[in-house]
Copies of this chain bind each other. A is one copy, B any other.
Amino acid sequence: MGEGVKSSMPAVTAMAHPNLALVKYWGQRDTVRQLPLNDSISVNLSGATTTTTVQFDVALEKDEFELDGARPSAAAVARVSAHMQRIRALAGIPTYARVQSRNSFPAGIGIASSASGFAALTLAGTRAAGLALDAKALSSLARLGSGSACRSIPDGFAEWLAGTGEDSYAVQLAPPEHWDLAIVTVYFDPQPKAISSLEGHRAAPSSPFFEARLRQLGETLRTVRWAVLERDFSTLGMAVEREALSLHVIAMSSRVAGQPHLSGIYYWQPQTLALMHAVQRWRAEGLAVAFTLDAGPAVHLLVEAENRGALLEAVGGVLPALGGQVLVSAPGMGARVVDEEKGKFNAESRVF
């Protein structure tokens, strides 16, 4: 396109869900290219959505970014603009864009809006620039915005292949309808993280347990991949619980540069631990439930859909004392273009 870019390009809106890692991404091979040290497996969370509209406009003198109706931090604007610059380079256009994004869920609760955000931005931005990237290229590009965003591109269950070179992207492991899981996310009042996930990734190799984690991951990946494909809940549950613990083992035993008063990175809050204990108790009482945790205090509870009611009842029994809130998801779709006028999917624009 280059010089031939139209002065008025269409606005494109895309939606994406954050994803929940069943096998975690923790530790980077390359921080600039967001290349992970290990493969990971995730499921999209249908209960949380980012919706992003991108329109290139020759009248703009810089990218404009609005998040949830407000102006985000300069750092957030710069990060979005850097991603738009990647899209401009791919499309061969110089035009700046207007980006409007809305999250259906609060920030800072332990559900990564950067994953859904950069997945939606990548799809809306490339389409608005006239590009029609395939799934692999979209996933790889989304990764450059925020590593785990690559897993929010495919529908349902995804596996992010770390790769060995410069490329690294997620592929679909199973579609959302493959396994009717319920994911109940219990989150607490947003608290500023003392240590960001970025710092956590950087510090990970300083843990005396990091190499053991990487060695263990081959077996964990095989087990979780098999359990998803075979819909074996008890195998999945034990494996994801131990894998979540493994991430926190690394975080808690990491040495954080410039934080001499911290002996490690403690993402758990007392409520996190209370729920971890509750899960062991509920399981002993016969409820087939498992938890997983990301780099934050929120607890994600997994059950097969037939046990959703029983789980919500159990959670309701402990929640008043813990003061948390609940978000309920099923395995979600991947990034897709939506027709905002009709408020529904634009089937012609679905990429998968």
Contacts and interface: CB of A to CB of B under 8 A. Distances in A.
A110 interface: no
Interface string A261-272: 111101011111
A242 B266 contact: no
Nearest to A238: B263
A198 interface: no
Interface in A211-269: 211-213, 215-216, 237-238, 241-242, 245-246, 249, 252-253, 261-264, 266, 268-269
Contacts of A276: 266
Contact of A283 (B211, B238, B246, B261): B261
B280 A274 contact: no
A277 interface: yes
A91 B261 CA distance: 53
A316 interface: no
A274 B212 CA distance: 28
Contact of A263 (B212, B242, B249): B242
A270 B276 CA distance: 10
A208 interface: yes
Given A280-B261, A283-B261, A209 B249 contact: yes
A330 to B, nearest CB: 24
A242 B249 contact: no
A273 interface: yes
A284 interface: yes
A272 B272 CA distance: 12
Nearest to A269: B273
Contacts of A249: 209, 249, 252-253
Interface in A280-307: 280, 283-284, 290
In this complex, the member of A213, A263, A266, A290 whose beta carbon has the largest number of chain B beta carbons within 10 angstroms is A263
Contacts of A246: 208, 253
In this complex, the member of A212, A245, A262, A264 whose beta carbon has the largest number of chain B beta carbons within 10 angstroms is A212
Contacts of A274: 270
A192 to B, nearest CB: 13
Contact of A280 (B238, B266, B290): B266
A98 to B, nearest CB: 42
In this complex, the member of A246, A252, A269, A270 whose beta carbon has the largest number of chain B beta carbons within 10 angstroms is A270
Nearest to A264: B245
Contact of A268 (B211, B216, B273): B273
Nearest to A322: B270
A25 to B, nearest CB: 18
Given A237-B263, A268-B273, A270-B274, 5 more contacts: A208-B212, A208-B246, A249-B253, A266-B280, A270-B271
11 contacts: A208-B215, A209-B213, A209-B249, A241-B263, A242-B253, A246-B253, A249-B249, A266-B277, A270-B270, A270-B271, A272-B273
Interface of A: 194, 208-209, 211-213, 215-216, 237-238, 241-242, 245-246, 249, 252-253, 261-264, 266, 268-274, 276-277, 280, 283-284, 290
- Which 9 pairs of residues, A with B, have the shortest CB-CB distance? A270-B270, A241-B263, A261-B283, A208-B216, A212-B212, A261-B284, A209-B209, A270-B274, A249-B249
